[in-house]
Structure 1
Amino acid sequence: MSLPLIPLLLSASTPAAHEPDVPAPVAQAPQRQDGDIVVTARRREERIQEVPVALSVLSGATLAEAGAFNVSRIQQSQPALQFYSSNPRNTAINIRGLGAPFGLTNDGIEQGVGFYVDGVYIGRVGASTFDFVDVERVEVLRGPQGTLYGKNTTAGAINITTRKPSFTPEVRFEASTGNYDFLQIKGSASAPIADDKLAVRLSTSVSKRKGTIYDTRSDSNLHRLDNYGVRGQLLWRAAPNLDLALSGDFNLQNPLCCVQYYVRIGATQRPLDRQYAALAAAFGYTPPSTDPFDRRTDLDADINSRQEIGGASLVANWDLGPATITSVSAWRYWDWQPANDRDFVGLPITTVSQNPSQQKQVTQELRIASNGRNRLEYTAGVFVFHQTIDTQGSQVQGPAASRWLLNPTSAAANTPATLNDLTSKNTIGFDNTSFAVFGKLNWEVLPKLRFQPGLRLNYDKKTGSYRAVVINGAGSTTLTADQRGVLAPQNYSARFSDWNVSGDATLSYDFARDVHGYATYARSFKSGGINLSGLPLDANNNPILGAASVKPEKVNHFELGLKTQFLDRRATLNLAGFWTEVKDYQATVTNGQLGVIRGYLANADKVRVRGVEVDSNFQPTDRFKLYVNGAYTDAKYVRFRDAPCPPELSGGTTGTTPSAPGTPGGVSPANCDISGQMLPGISEWALGFGGEVNAPVQEGQVYLGYDGSWRSRFSSNPSPSAYTWIDGFALSNFRLGYRKGKVNAFAWVRNAFDKRYFELLSVQSGNTGLVVGQPGDPRTWGFTISGSF
Structure 2
Amino acid sequence: MLAKPPRAALESRALWLANAALVALIAGATPQIASAKDATAETALTAAADDAAAEAAAAEEAERNGNAILVMARNRQERLEDVPIPISVLGAETLQQQRVLTIADISQRAPGLTATTPNARRTGVSLRGIGKTSGNDNMEAAVGVIVDDVFLGHVGMTYQDFTDLAQVEILRGPQGTLLGKNTSLGVIRYTSKAPSFAPEASLELEGGLSQPAFRARGSFSDALAPDLLAFRASFFVDKQDGDIFNTNPAVGGRWHEQNRYGGRVQLLLEPADNFSLRLNADFAETNENSNTKPFMVDPATLNDGSVRGTTYSTRLARSYFGGYQPTIGSWNTIDIDEALPLVTRNYGGSAVATWDVGALEIKSITAARWFYFNATNDQEQTRFAISRSGTLVTTQQLSQELRFTGDVTDSIDYQAGIYLMRIETDSNGRSRFGPDAGAFFATHAQYAALNTPAGWELLQASLAGTRSVTNQHPISNSQAVFAQANWKLTDRATLTAGIRYTREQKTSTITRTIGREDGSPLVSTGNATADAIRATQLNTPYATVIGEPIDDGAFAWLINPSYQLADDVLLYASASGGGKSGAVAFDNNGTRRNVAPEETTDFEFGIKGQLFGRVLQFNANLYHTQVRNYQAVTNIADPTAATGFSSVLGNIPKLRAQGVELDAALTPFDGLTINFGGAYNDATYSDWANATCPRSFPSSVVSCDNTGRQIVGAPKWTGILGFNFEREIGSSGLSLYAWGNNTYRSSHNLEQLLSPYGWQGAYHLTDAGAGVITEIGGVRTQIGIAAKNLFDVHYTTSVNDFSNNAPVGFDGIGPRRQISAVVRASF
TM-score range, shorter chain: 0.7 to 0.9
Runs of 4+ in 1 over 6 A off after TM superposition: none
1:621 maps to 669
Q: Which residue of 1 aligns with 2:77?
A: 45
The equivalent residue for 1:513 is: 567
Aligned-pair distance for 1:267? 4.1
**Cα deviation 1:555-590 (Å, max 9, x = unaligned):** 111111111321101012321111111110001469
**620, 626, 629: which one aligns with 1:584:** 629
Q: 1:189 to 1:440 in 2, by over 3 A?
A: same
What does residue range 400-415 of structure 1 map to in structure 2 within 5 Å?
400-410=436-446, 414=451, 415=458
3-state DSSP class of the match of 1:274? coil
Cα separation, 1, equivalents of 2:407 and 2:301? 63
Q: Distance in 2 between matches of 1:289 and 1:550?
A: 38
**Contact 1:724/1:771 (<8 A) preserved:** no
1:266 matched to 2:299? The reply is: yes
Is the partner of 1:277 in helix, strand or coil? helix
Q: Which has the higher contact order (CA 8 A, sep 6+)?
A: 1
Question: Compared with structure 1, are the counterparts of its residues 189 and 672 closer, same or farther at alpha carbon in structure 2 (3 Å cutoff)?
Answer: same
Residue identity (%): 30
Q: Mapping of 1:208-223 within 5 angstroms?
A: 208-217=239-248, 218-223=251-256
Match in the other structure for 1:110? 140
**Aligned residues of 2:474 and 2:584 also touching (Cα < 8 A):** no
SS at match of 2:797: strand
Structure 2 residue aligned with 1:779, among 809, 812, 817?
A: 817
1:523-672 equivalences in 2 (<5 Å)? 523-531=577-585, 535-536=587-588, 542-545=589-592, 548-588=593-633, 601-649=649-697, 652=699, 668-672=700-704
Question: Are residues 1:195 and 2:226 paired?
Answer: yes
What's the Cα RMSD here?
A: 2.5
Stretches of structure 2 lacking an aligned partner (at least 5 in a row) = 5-61, 452-457, 642-646
Gaps of 5+ in 1: 3-29, 537-541, 594-598, 653-667
Q: Which amino acid aligns with 1:739?
A: I
* Matched residue type, 1:516: L
**Deviation, structure 1 residue 372:** 11
- The 8 Å contact of residues 291 and 811 in structure 2, kept in 1 or not, is answered as no
Aligned residues of 1:406 and 1:413 also touching (Cα < 8 A): no
Q: Which moved more, 1:373-382 or 1:356-365?
A: 373-382
Deviation at 1:320, TM superposition (A): 1.5
Report the counterpart of residue 677 of structure 1 in structure 2. 709
Q: Deviations over 1:489-522 (max 9, x none)?
A: 2442212221111211111011112221111111
CA-CA distance at 1:769 after TM superposition: 4.5
Q: CA deviation at 1:346?
A: 3.6
Matched, 1:493 2:546: yes
Change in 2 beyond 3 A, CA 1:32/1:708 = farther
1:569-612 C-alpha deviation (Å, 9 max, x unpaired): 10123211111111100014699x9xxxxx95211011111111
Please name the residue that 1:336 is paired with: 373
- Write the distance in 2 (CA, Å) between the matches of 1:31 and 1:511: 19
What is the distance in 1 between the residues matched to 2:164 and 2:77? Answer: 22
Deviation at 1:60, TM superposition (A): 2.0
Which of 478, 484, 489 is the matching residue for 1:440?
Answer: 484
Aligned counterpart, 1:12 = none
Cα contact 1:451–1:505 (8 A) shared by 2: yes
Alignment match, 2:10: none
In structure 2, the residue matched to 1:21 is none
| 1:354-379 Cα shifts (integer Å, max 9, x gaps) | 21111111000000112699411111
- SS in structure 1 at match of 2:314: helix
The letter of the residue matching 2:819 is W
Instruction: Report the Cα distance in structure 2 between the residues aligned to 1:291 and 1:392, rounded to whole angstroms.
Output: 31
**Deviation at residue 268 of structure 1 after TM alignment:** 5.2
Question: Quick one: distance in 2 between partners of 1:330 and 1:638?
Answer: 40
Contact 1:266 1:771 in 2 (8 A): no
Relative to structure 1, the CA distance from residue 373 to residue 694 in structure 2 (aligned partners, 3 Å threshold; closer, same or farther) is farther
- Please name the residue that 2:128 is paired with: 96
Structure 1 CA distance, aligned partners of 2:254 and 2:127? 33
- Once the two structures are TM-superposed, the CA of residue 289 in structure 1 deviates from its matched residue by 4.6
Tell which structure's C-alpha radius of gyration is larger. 2
| Offset at residue 116 of structure 1 (A) | 1.1
User: Alpha-carbon deviation of 1:237?
Assistant: 0.9
Aligned to 2:413: 377
C-alpha separation between the residues in 2 aligned to 1:564 and 1:549?
Answer: 45
Normalising by the residue count of structure 1, what TM-score does the alignment of the two structures yield?
0.88
Give the corresponding residue for 1:10. none
Specify the alignment match of 1:278 in structure 2: 314
Asked whether the equivalents of residues 441 and 533 of structure 2 are also in contact (C-alpha less than 8 Å), the reply is no
- Quote the offset at 1:429 in angstroms: 1.2
Which string of whole-angstrom CA distances, capped at 9 and with x for unpartnered residues, describes residues 360-407 of structure 1?
110000001126994111111110000111123321233443343342
Q: 1:680·1:715 contact (CA, 8 Å) conserved in 2?
A: yes
Q: Summarize deviations over 1:530-571 as a string: whole Å, max 9, x none.
A: 22xx624xxxxx5443xx210000111111111132110101
Distance 1:92 1:345 in 2: 27
- Whichever residue aligns with residue 522 of structure 1, its letter is S
1:116-127 correspondence runs (5 A): 116-127=146-157
Distance in 2 separating the partners of 1:590 and 1:472: 35
How far residue 472 of structure 1 moved from its aligned partner, in angstroms, is 6.8
- 1:647-726 matches, cutoff 5 A: 647-649=695-697, 652=699, 668-697=700-729, 698-726=732-760
Instruction: Give the letter aligned to residue 322 of structure 1.
Output: A
User: What is residue 389 of structure 1 aligned with on the other side?
Assistant: 425
Note if contact 2:605-2:622 (Cα within 8 Å) is conserved in structure 1: yes
Q: Decide whether the 8 Å contact of 1:216 with 1:288 is kept in 2.
A: no
Q: Indicate the residue corresponding to 2:794 in structure 1.
A: 756
Higher strand content, 1 or 2: 1
Tell whether the 8 Å contact from 2:695 to 2:803 is kept in structure 1 after alignment: no
Matched letter for residue 231 of structure 1: R
When structure 1 is superposed on structure 2, of 47-56 and 126-135 the one drifting more is 126-135
The structure that is helix-richer by fraction is 2
Greater alpha carbon shift after TM alignment, 366-375 vs 54-63: 366-375
Aligned to 2:13: none
Per the alignment, in what secondary structure is the counterpart of residue 288 of structure 2? coil
For the 8 Å contact 1:419–1:472, the answer to whether it is kept is no
* Offset from partner CA, 1:705-730 (integer Å, 9 cap, x none): 22111101111111111111111110
Distance 1:297 1:471 in 2: 30
Q: Give how far 1:349 is off.
A: 3.1
**Secondary structure in structure 1 of the residue aligned to 2:81:** helix
The answer on 1:475 being equivalent to 2:521 is yes
| 1:241-289 Cα deviation digits (max 9, x unpaired) | 0101111111121111111122112245586340233223223555565
Does the 8 Å contact 2:266/2:279 carry over to 1?
Answer: yes
Q: Point out the more displaced range, 574-583 or 283-292.
A: 283-292
Counterpart Cα distance in 2 of 1:587 and 1:31: 50
CA contact (8 A) 2:116 2:812 kept: no
